A and B are shown apart, each in its own frame.
Chain A
């Protein structure tokens, strides 16, 4: 098992390298640079000489591969560099500062999704073809189909503008959490509910369930102890893999709800060509996804003894 983990980690490092070089290349290919961003709307008096000096200051006058290897060299030694737009601020500080709001948002959303989706999927499977089942599945399809920025805006209009129950955006008390957590969770909830339903249906058709019932076990015990436990297997895998989707969802949700997390930092940094920050966030997300995958595989092996990690 250790060998497996080490092997996966090594693969992860290669992935990380490829992702970082691709990100760097894309950023370089996109016109614009952080200097222009900071010059902002008042840059009309700039001379070429001054402009060149600014590029030089940030090493932007060097060829892209040289810039990349400078970055890589620093990164290997644990230095993410400084933001060019928030000049002088170490990137790791910015990312850490933004991490907490995002961790709050994603973990609450995930918890919400699991708490809602699993029972809903279970009930839909047990009461198959009932109105309840159809209702959940229609809702789940909608949850997958509706883009979260649209749902977010509609909710803001309804709950903040028309009803005045919740603040439209920003941080603060618990009321500020409701809409962003819900919106980020919608897609996840829908996916998990559908999956749970499918998994339960499959399990419920298995011989050992029939056996359990034949033994005279109470339906509750059959469902909870025999069916759910087995149905949870694919769910665990998916929850791990869905972390990546959840993180990408924060980019949109955080922008709409003015949530000062990593998603917003990411989009701000892309817009402002703040290479170092974008690079750091991409690397961070990649690491999270790689780790989530490995952890998922390990968890899978632990809860299903039939799986061997070789």
Chain B
């Protein structure tokens, strides 16, 4: 790679000849983080496969006297986003907790982040996890649902992988170089990493995986992650060169994190069969797969980062959240990968009987509204709705203070990109009424405001059985009706599709609008033509900003761009943004090798290979 004096080049030059630890640190600086996991936390509201009463776990910010020594509260203003919260200078070679979270790629001893503080890692035990729905597939292509991902990640590895601190860790790639124009990535792969059948992992597997996944013929679910790749070349056994059609700041976060499948196995049996017969370089290989009952993977002793300490990891399917809680309490299971109900979260946390991780969401709890409806097309109406809604009360009362009020599309947890200096909408019903009056919306004979024959009347869709968000929807309904709207609530089985296909006027979702695992790009929700532009928000200015953000790889320049994005969101109010909530993960204390704190509780499951279980 030639010397480059541009901002991008300077940053990318640093990767040349780096070791793994440097790579790791610099991926923090790069903002090279990945949307995958935050979106795990994200989609709960809009997603079909949710227990919607589960996904709203709050976290107590006003921790009343540290109820348990084992509760780890992740500060929302931490290094989420892979930004230089720990600055380059601060990240000395002495490993900080954040750095070592990767599990020490070369010597994966769990002792480095052992919560027990100095216990020697012991061999043994089966880690028992619980998911809430069947594991329909073990293919990387189907790793979207969290319950699937938790097992897929035990079996497979990617070139780079996100760690529980939202930092990309070099995994199957030892290092990489980027060309001057930012359009060619050269990955240097690890050597001596066998697949579960003993065949060695090489560049051919990377090429095969990338080519298979991005081939439109195969209609893969994750094909979009590979968009913009023009060519994948295996120049030698341990080098892969990937060409892009243009510089893309999110490339590493998306395609870089694709789990690699073995060419010799996958091509022989095909994708459909692979779903139940997967093989990777991961620390565990499949022992028993019973989709609806449990999936068990066993330690792969030849794993390239060292043999895992656990004997096995089993994910059981326990659909009912209360029963998952009881399974934890009786010690039958060690951790639930899917959320419990809020009351149980608080109870388990306060019991002091569990290692508890309480982390902030980067997904936004919000009311998407169809901007193409004549009433929502008027920006003043959207603004008035913001003024009329007491979001502080929602956070403090309905969510028991276990959330942060949103100021825009990016969570304050992403402190590097978060822009607080935006148009604000404090609760002020009088101002809401004034805004509507000034915009020409006057009350009709029945009290409902109207303008040019259009009434402020719409339906708010709430997912049937969504006990968590229904009170919030009802509160919003009351608030808006009080300023002369006529909002009715409709129960729906729908998830994201109701807004996507325009059948719903308004809904209540949890979704990321940029910020997923630290990548601030919100192209898929904010761009005019985006699939998940639930509010059908059309803004050329926004589209230009989003495109610029992806072209730019200098973090500071990107920060400027995403700051503008947030200002524009606050200006235009395409949707009613309410809050960012908290997320809980519990572990039975007999599980050892757990870090002191994490930023993403979900991602911690990918580090099962550094954990072990103490015999009782």
Question: Which A positions have Cβ atoms within 8 angstroms of B?
Answer: 30-33, 35-48, 50-51, 53-54, 56-57, 83, 85-89, 97-98, 153, 156-157, 160-161, 164, 167-171, 255-258, 260, 264-265, 267-268, 271-273
Contact = CB atoms under 8 A, between A and B. Distances in A.
Contacts of A160: 326, 330
Which of B48, B137, B144 gathers most chain A CB within 10 Å? Answer: B48
Interface string B470-509: 0000000000000000000000111111100101000000
A249 B334 CA distance: 29
Contacts of B501: 31
Interface string B452-477: 00000000000000000000000000
A33 B318 contact: no
B291 interface: yes
Contacts of A53: 216, 219, 223
Contacts of A41: 39-44, 47, 144-146
A86 B35 CA distance: 25
Nearest to A53: B219
Contacts of A86: 134, 136-137, 275, 291
Given A85-B136, A171-B293, A40 B144 contact: yes
13 contacts: A30-B493, A31-B503, A40-B43, A40-B47, A42-B40, A44-B525, A45-B227, A46-B531, A153-B323, A255-B319, A258-B316, A260-B292, A271-B49
A57 B271 CA distance: 14
B516 interface: yes
A270 to B, nearest CB: 9
B292 A98 contact: yes
B275 A32 contact: no
A83 B532 CA distance: 25
B295 to A, nearest CB: 12
A127 B137 CA distance: 58
Contacts of A97: 292
B597 interface: no
Contacts, number: 196
A11 B613 CA distance: 60
A83 B42 CA distance: 26
A167 B134 CA distance: 20
A33 B493 CA distance: 11
A44 B293 CA distance: 29
Contacts of B323: 153, 156, 168-169, 256-258
A153 B326 CA distance: 10
A97 B494 CA distance: 29
Q: Size band of the B side of the interface?
A: 35 or more
B139 to A, nearest CB: 8
A128 to B, nearest CB: 41
B266 interface: no
A255 B276 contact: no
Contact of A46 (B294, B317, B330, B532): B532
Contact of A40 (B49, B225, B330): B49
A36 B496 contact: yes
A86 B133 CA distance: 12
B48 A272 contact: yes
Interface in B42-66: 42-44, 47-49
Given A38-B145, A53-B216, 8 more contacts: A37-B47, A39-B221, A41-B41, A44-B525, A48-B529, A170-B332, A255-B320, A258-B317
Contacts of B47: 36-37, 40-41, 43
A42 B144 contact: yes
Interface string B495-535: 11110010100000001100010000001110001011000
Contacts of A46: 224, 524, 531-532
Contacts of B120: none
B329 A161 contact: yes
B254 interface: yes
A157 B322 CA distance: 10
Interface in B267-305: 271-273, 275-276, 290-294
B148 interface: yes
B144 A161 contact: no
A57 B492 CA distance: 26
A173 to B, nearest CB: 13
Contacts of B216: 53
A30 B492 CA distance: 8
A40 B223 contact: no
Given A39-B144, A255-B319, A268-B292, A44 B516 contact: yes
B316 A31 contact: no
The 10 A-B pairs of least Cβ separation, nearest first, read A40-B144, A88-B272, A40-B145, A31-B494, A260-B292, A260-B293, A41-B43, A42-B144, A57-B219, A31-B497
Contacts of A36: 47-48, 495-497
A56 B40 contact: no
Nearest to B143: A42
A156 B494 CA distance: 31
B42 A40 contact: no
A218 to B, nearest CB: 51
A12 B148 CA distance: 40
B157 interface: no
A93 to B, nearest CB: 11
A265 B292 contact: yes
B32 to A, nearest CB: 16
B327 interface: yes
A256 B318 CA distance: 8
B327 to A, nearest CB: 5
Nearest to A36: B48
A54 B144 contact: no
Given A37-B48, A157-B326, A88 B273 contact: yes
Contacts of A268: 133-134, 292, 319
B111 interface: no
A47 B531 contact: yes
B329 to A, nearest CB: 6
A83 B40 CA distance: 24
B180 to A, nearest CB: 26
B41 A168 contact: no
B33 interface: no
B136 A38 contact: yes
Given A45-B224, A50-B223, A87-B272, A31 B492 contact: yes
B149 interface: yes
Contacts of B495: 31-32, 36
B203 interface: no
Given A31-B503, A171-B293, A268-B133, A260 B317 contact: yes
A56 B318 contact: no
Contact of A258 (B320, B497, B511): B320
A153 B516 CA distance: 36
Interface string B305-330: 00000000000111110110011011
Interface string B402-413: 000000000000
Which of A42, A170, A257 gathers most chain B CB within 10 Å? Answer: A42
Nearest to B146: A41
Contacts of A267: 319
A53 B273 CA distance: 21
Interface in B141-159: 142-146, 148-149
B239 interface: no
Contacts of A258: 293, 316-320, 323
B36 interface: yes
Contacts of A89: 275-276
Contact of B327 (A43, A153, A169, A264): A169
Contacts of B40: 40-42
B493 A31 contact: yes
Given A38-B221, A88-B275, A44 B317 contact: no
B335 to A, nearest CB: 15
A250 to B, nearest CB: 13
A215 to B, nearest CB: 57
A83 B146 CA distance: 20
B290 A43 contact: no
A44 B497 contact: no
